[in-house]
A and B are shown apart, each in its own frame.
Chain A
Amino acid sequence: MTGLAFDPVLPWPILAALAALALLVALWALWRGLRGWLWRGLAGLAAALALSGPALQSGTSNKLSDIVILLDDRSASQALPGRSAQTDEAVDELTRRLEAIPNTEIRRVTVGDDDDDGTLLGTALSRALAAEPEARLAGVINVTDGLLHDMPMLPATAPAPVHTLLTGQPEDWDRRLVIEEAPTYGLIGQSVNIRLRIEDQGNVPASVAGQPARLRISVDGDNERQLDLPPGVPLDLPITPEHAGQNVVSISFDAPEATPPELTDRNNAAAVQIQGVRDRLRVLLVSGEPHAGERTWRNLLKSDANVDLIHFTILRSPDKLDMVPVQEMSLIAFPTQELFMERIRDFDLIIFDRYSVQGILLPVYYENVRQFVEEGGAILVSAGPEMSSVESLNLSPLGAILPARPTGRIMSGPFLPQLTDEGMRHPVTSGLPGAPSEDEQDGHWGRWLRMSQSIPSPNAQVVMKGMEDEPLLILNRVGKGRVAQLTSDQVWLWGRGFEGGGPQLELLRRIAHWSMKEPELEEEALLADVSHDLSVTVTRRTMKDSAGPVRITGPDDFAHELPLTEAGPGRFTAEWVPPGPGLYRLVDGDITRVIAVGPAAPREFEETVATPDRLEPLAGQTMGGVLRLSDGVPSIRTVREGRPAFGEGVGGDWIAITPREAETISGQTHRPILPDWAWLLLIAGLALTGWLLEGRGWGRPATPDEQA
């Protein structure tokens, strides 16, 4: 690149004025008839030109190569039979053809898949475009099935044609199960709906099209139900969660028989997990007398959004005398008949808070409460000193099911509540914040000041101990129900912050919820978490000293014994990698748990039939084409920018890249046309010539003076 450049010594207007002056002088000289007028003018102009500093400028530039992005999709859906070979072949062929075009570089980008997010082709393409200089990009070629899952990340346009070559065959088809709506939670015993449909995609063979699929539905692997569902018809499938915690609903259909077979059967099944939750829990709190700890119970139960509390306090026991007329009192009769006979089955938990037998409840009511527990109810006794008196609840018919028998001794004096060995394992007490341990006496808990001595019943679990290691919190199961007993009423001291206090709300909450059989607080539990990389963490919580091995059964007669290792008091864990997708049943003793293990990349197999739809807008914007590889790998041409970049030729389809002719300038020289002394010589020569012409008379007759 060479050119003329000016480097004026004076501002341009002055130079222009100078040139104009030179012309004026020349014109004046002409008018005066001076013979040197031309030379005078030229000298002036040359002076103006010299001042403008003309120079020759020349640069050295390099032509840059064109860049073509060749992107291949290697996600799981591209691994369907045939597609991977198709992709390899296309990439090899395109590489060869692109290399044949002179001055062209290939940038390879390979897209994998993310387990949960599917194929992120849009993101990869945006990144690749951003990484290349815009002026050199001559084309983009995607080799993919078109099933990308990040449409919003796909660039709207590109500086060069974006072509997409679709894998797959024209006769590809697939039938899949679509879960349109599935609840995450459901009330136990109340049915919830899963909305699903069967969808056919692609070129469905006539023998299959419109034919119903036979659905198999089971909950936790049991009670398989079958029903036929034609494609495209939404179905509301009622499911009733039977138990708390995960209810695994597995839905599948068999692959329809046809030639060619459907692309994949991985999208023919789904597992929906519904967390079974209980309806609002109904708690009856009966306080035997107003006392300092009563509001602790109220605070706990009223702050629990999941609890309907019905509370009664014996504000005045029958042996009290008060002359005040009834209409001036705000007392109502304790509706014992209604609560303990008629409505007792409506409650999930009855709490006796410092309740003593005061002759208010008839023996038959206690009998009824006992029956209520044996049939699956729960009672919690928080006992004060009345437990050791003759009015003890233990002396009522209820005593037979209470987990501890009082000795009659009230133990007064400060003591630190502690966890027993069983308590360290038991979910009600294990991990309570700030718990003092055996060897370390300086825990954060505050002390309590009195308790009743008692003898726990043989089957009961003592999870906390108090003064002289006497039982403080005792838990037991009776029939189908549960009973819990606190032998001290001073848990409220923790709430008041006496000596720093303790986690009284958490403890009481756990006791109450354990007695109402909350799955998270079960002593014997088998938990299994399926992680993203499809490994399963199996955790067994138990009160025993050992656990396992866990027997695992799965699809295709899979059976495995998984040994567990101890991870803490009452916790045994193991890692396990299932051999493939499907429902697995984990069994240890009486505890069973069903887990659903999905395919490795579930999104990849939601849809499998190659589609041009998602990449077509971008191709349209950039004059690129979307072609099917099943028609052969297209040839590559070059066209000018702005021209259609694909078409059909004699030898088959072609796609084009647009050479960009980009170049870089690597150096520049600046050379004045004449050196300064040459300018001086030139101007002086011109001026001298004019003067000589006018003065010495070259080329004119001598004047008479001169001849004399």
Chain B
Amino acid sequence: MNLLRKLAVALFASLALPGPSLAQDAEPDPRLVRAADEVALAYVVTGDEEADRASEAGLRGLSEVLTQRTSVEPGEPIGINLDEDDLSLLTFLYWPITDSQTAPSAAAYARLNHYLRSGGLILFDTRDGDIAGLGGPDGSAALQALAAPLDIPPLAPIPADHVLTRTFYLLEDFPGRYQGNRVWAEAPPADAVATEGVPFRNLNDGVSPVIIGGNAWAEAWAIDKRGLPSFTVGASFEGERQREMAYRFGVNLMMYVLTGNYKSDQVHVPALLERLKEGETAE
């Protein structure tokens, strides 16, 4: 009897609620469970084998660096099939743009929008930093086509005082395999300068849901099975410096995803401690 009822409920749920399934008897995808448990980095599987290999190797390289240098110890990177996988267990999604990519389904866009609204972050990478802006065909058209159905707030080039420049390392540029290109994030609110002190009711803690650039970061981060870089970056010593900076950007980005504007607050801590002191003397 009970079984029958459950069955009926499950049947009804699957009929009534298309999209992200709420049926709770289903076993969640173990890869995604791992993503939730280990903060594993995830990338969008594009179908372009070369790009997917680079994404996987890149995120593995970044995970390695994070584990070596920071308290964050991500597990193995996870490839995400946008049309099938539930995104609510992910924190970070790397989305390389390729020409051959087909647009995800409407249900996938609904999941993506929910992911962005509930605090997830997508790094869009057009991987065309070497040719972008020269007037030739670049990735921006493909990016626009793919990102059009997403609820993306107004964007602006990342300003020099953005918290992304100081979440872990102090950075001036966000290089990948290419450098010197603009990287975009959610435009700061118009009154951002005026709000001194703790922002009020900022439910997403001011984290931009998307970061967009064309510096081919995964290629700069990528390592092979032996731990050696898979792609060349720049030339000789200069290039290695650029790769290091790419890793630092990766670390900062992950810290931004996980701690939000924590490093912005840090500025206020001395002031808050000072305020505590004053309260004491007044009493």
Q: From residue 229 to 256 of chain B, which have CB atoms closer than 8 A to chain A?
A: 248, 254-255
Question: B258 near A294 (CB under 8 angstroms)?
Answer: yes
Does any Cβ of A come within 8 Å of B31's Cβ? no
B 90-115 to A, binary, CB cutoff 8 A, 1 in contact else 0: 01000000000000000000000011
Taking CB as reference atom, which chain A residue is nearest B89?
A498
Contact of B37 among A290, A299, A305, A412 (CB under 8 A): A412
Question: A302 near B273 (CB under 8 angstroms)?
Answer: no
Does any Cβ of A come within 8 Å of B208's Cβ? no
Q: Which residues of B contact A302 (CB under 8 A)?
A: 198-199, 202, 205
Q: Which residues of A contact B28 (CB under 8 A)?
A: 414, 447, 449
Minimum CB–CB distance for B92 against chain A, Å: 9
Does any Cβ of B come within 8 Å of A343's Cβ? yes
Taking CB as reference atom, which chain A residue is nearest B13?
A442
Question: A328 near B88 (CB under 8 angstroms)?
Answer: no
Taking CB as reference atom, which chain B residue is nearest A489?
B37
Does any Cβ of A come within 8 Å of B144's Cβ? no
Does any Cβ of A come within 8 Å of B276's Cβ? yes
Q: Which residues of B contact A330 (CB under 8 A)?
A: 166-170, 263
Kindly state the separation between the CA atoms of A332 and B266 in the bound complex, as whole angstroms: 9
Question: A310 near B269 (CB under 8 angstroms)?
Answer: yes
Minimum CB–CB distance for A377 against chain B, Å: 15
Does any Cβ of A come within 8 Å of B18's Cβ? no
Chain B contact surface mostly: loop
Question: B88 near A497 (CB under 8 angstroms)?
Answer: yes
Question: A493 near B169 (CB under 8 angstroms)?
Answer: no
B 2-39 to A, binary, CB cutoff 8 A, 1 in contact else 0: 00001001000000000011101001100001001101
Question: B86 near A498 (CB under 8 angstroms)?
Answer: yes
Looking at A290, A314, A315, A441, the one whose CB has the most chain B CB atoms below 10 A away is: A290
Q: Which residues of B contact A499 (CB under 8 A)?
A: 20-22, 24, 88
Q: Which residues of A contact B21 (CB under 8 A)?
A: 499
Given A302-B198, A328-B169, A493-B89: A343 and B276 interface contact (C-beta under 8 Å): yes
Kindly state the separation between the CA atoms of A338 and B269 in the bound complex, as whole angstroms: 12
Does any Cβ of A come within 8 Å of B44's Cβ? no
Question: A291 near B258 (CB under 8 angstroms)?
Answer: yes
Q: Which residues of B contact A490 (CB under 8 A)?
A: 36
Question: A290 near B24 (CB under 8 angstroms)?
Answer: no
Q: Which of A251-259, A317-325, A452-460 contacts B (4 or more CB under 8 A)?
A: A317-325
Kindly state the separation between the CA atoms of A295 and B275 in the bound complex, as whole angstroms: 25
Does any Cβ of B come within 8 Å of A27's Cβ? no
B 68-89 to A, binary, CB cutoff 8 A, 1 in contact else 0: 1111110000000000001011
Q: Which residues of A contact B272 (CB under 8 A)?
A: 308, 310
Does any Cβ of A come within 8 Å of B139's Cβ? no
Q: From residue 42 to 63 of chain B, which have CB atoms closer than 8 A to chain A?
A: none
Kindly state the separation between the CA atoms of A320 and B65 in the bound complex, as whole angstroms: 11
Q: Which residues of B contact A346 (CB under 8 A)?
A: 276, 279-280
Given A317-B71, A497-B88: A292 and B39 interface contact (C-beta under 8 Å): yes
Q: Which residues of B contact A291 (CB under 8 A)?
A: 39, 72, 258
Does any Cβ of A come within 8 Å of B203's Cβ? yes
Q: Which residues of A contact B259 (CB under 8 A)?
A: 287, 290, 294-295, 298, 313, 315
Kindly state the separation between the CA atoms of A493 and B69 in the bound complex, as whole angstroms: 27
Minimum CB–CB distance for A346 against chain B, Å: 5
Does any Cβ of B come within 8 Å of A331's Cβ? yes
Given A328-B169, A449-B28, A449-B37: A305 and B200 interface contact (C-beta under 8 Å): yes
Kindly state the separation between the CA atoms of A328 and B263 in the bound complex, as whole angstroms: 15
Minimum CB–CB distance for A433 against chain B, Å: 16
Extra contacts besides A310-B273, A316-B69, A316-B70 (11): CB < 8 Å: A290-B72, A292-B39, A298-B261, A313-B262, A314-B71, A322-B68, A324-B169, A385-B37, A446-B24, A495-B119, A496-B120
29 pairs of residues in contact across A and B, judged by CB atoms under 8 Å: A289-B71, A290-B254, A290-B259, A294-B260, A294-B262, A295-B119, A295-B207, A298-B261, A302-B199, A302-B202, A305-B200, A308-B272, A310-B273, A313-B262, A315-B70, A324-B169, A330-B167, A330-B169, A331-B168, A412-B33, A414-B27, A447-B24, A449-B89, A490-B36, A496-B89, A496-B120, A497-B88, A497-B118, A500-B22
